[in-house]
């Protein structure tokens, strides 16, 4: 049920069996191109492969050209209501638009956008959220459910396909993970377009990660979904890592260091939580698909260490460092970061 068509967003291809891409979105004012570029750079280091920016006004559209030119990853312009901002975004060189044609008042303007986007090979993502289903569809289907969401999507899709434009990506997001699952199953069965997966209004970091992992885990495991975004309230910096964690947990893609750490118990010989965070910070953005284990004691430590590429284990006399299942002996706490980097470089 993978999407039948592929779409190119700058140098990233999605759909038709291409690797599932990880997305994020900036929270800076897009009009402030320096702050926005700084956030894009950070998100790209953390693993975002496509980044969306909101374009709510003329000053944001004016900043786009500089953002697109310097961004290390493809940039998607998020547009609502105003056709002129869509046109300006395309002219600024964005790699994709996120726009709902049904929200553009004049059909002639939809044609204008589709014509220019088609000429420059700029795809358009139609994004249907459970919070914005038209009243007549809520009435027809007795509420917000997969049927009302899908028909809302069909309306937007046909406005574009009526112009001959088919370079389409679709997203159907609900705050309810299981509704997200049902509506995306329906979309995968009914249309050939690549699907961008996300749970909308997913909440702060903890709940957002869990809800997204539930919905995306089910769908991706069924072969549904071509790009993902874990939406988190607040700073977007944890978003790419959460996306990669989902892909890595499903054995779909690995890019960064995977950290394994025990939950700790009364046997712990070291502060596992603090140490795991130190290791996480150390390896942040390091493109090395290996496993580092942080284990609190000698009971389960060696077992996990044998399966990990690198392991730090608490013992009655201090830290033990392991590499590839073999003990490298004791190390001092203050040399941990230096030794870990050395050993990661030796793998």
Q: Which residues bind ligand SF4 (CB under 6 A)?
A: 262-265, 267-268, 295-297, 299-301
Whichever of 67 and 311 has its CB closer to ligand SF4, that residue is 311
Residue 209 CB, nearest distance to ligand SF4 (Å)? 22
Closer to ligand SF4 at the Cβ: 104 or 295? 295
Nearer Cβ to ligand SF4 (277/299):
299
- Cβ-closest position to ligand SF4: 296
Is the CB of 9 or the CB of 294 nearer to ligand SF4?
294
Q: Do 1 and 210 meet the contact criterion of CB atoms below 8 Å apart?
A: no
Q: What's the closest the beta carbon of residue 328 comes to ligand SF4, in angstroms?
A: 19
CB of 265 to ligand SF4, least distance (A): 3
Q: Which is nearer to ligand SF4, 8 or 278 (CB)?
A: 278
Phi, psi of 228 (to 5 degrees): -140, 150
Question: Closest distance between ligand SF4 and the C-beta of residue 266, in Å?
Answer: 7
- To the nearest whole angstrom, how small is the minimum distance from the Cβ of residue 303 to ligand SF4? 9
CA distance 126 to 283: 36
């Amino acid at each position: 049920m993978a999407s039948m068509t592929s779409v190119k967003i700058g140098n990233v291809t999605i759909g038709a069996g291409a690797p599932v891409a990880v997305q994020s979105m900036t929270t800076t004012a897009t009009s402030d191109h320096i702050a926005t570029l700084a956030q894009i750079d950070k998100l790209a280091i953390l693993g975002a492969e496509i980044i969306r920016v909101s374009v709510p006004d003329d000053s944001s559209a004016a900043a786009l050209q500089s953002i697109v030119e310097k961004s290390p990853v493809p940039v998607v312009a998020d547009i609502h209501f105003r056709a002129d901002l869509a046109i300006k975004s395309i002219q600024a060189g964005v790699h994709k638009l996120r726009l709902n044609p049904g929200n553009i008042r004049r059909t002639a303007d939809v044609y204008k956008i589709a014509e220019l986007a088609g000429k420059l090979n700029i795809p358009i993502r139609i994004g249907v959220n459970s919070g914005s289903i038209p009243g007549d569809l809520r009435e027809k289907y007795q509420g917000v459910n997969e049927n009302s969401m899908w028909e809302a999507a069909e309306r937007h899709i046909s406005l574009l396909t009526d112009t001959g434009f088919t370079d389409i990506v679709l997203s159907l997001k609900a705050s309810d993970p299981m509704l997200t699952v049902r509506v995306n199953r329906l979309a995968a069965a009914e249309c050939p377009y690549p699907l961008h997966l996300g749970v909308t209004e997913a909440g702060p970091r903890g709940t957002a990660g869990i809800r997204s992992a539930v919905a995306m885990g089910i769908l991706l495991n069924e072969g549904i979904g071509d790009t993902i975004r874990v939406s988190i309230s607040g700073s977007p910096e944890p978003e790419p890592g959460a996306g990669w964690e989902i892909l890595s947990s499903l054995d779909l893609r690995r890019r960064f260091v995977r950290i394994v750490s025990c939950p700790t118990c009364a046997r712990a010989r070291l502060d596992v939580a603090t140490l795991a965070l130190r290791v996480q910070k150390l390896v942040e953005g390091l493109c090395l698909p290996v496993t580092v284990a942080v284990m609190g004691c000698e009971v389960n430590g060696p077992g996990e260490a044998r399966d990990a590429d690198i392991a730090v284990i608490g013992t009655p006399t201090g830290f033990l460092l392991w590499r590839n299942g073999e003990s490298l002996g004791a190390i001092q706490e203050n040399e941990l970061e230096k030794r870990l980097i050395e050993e990661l470089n030796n793998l």
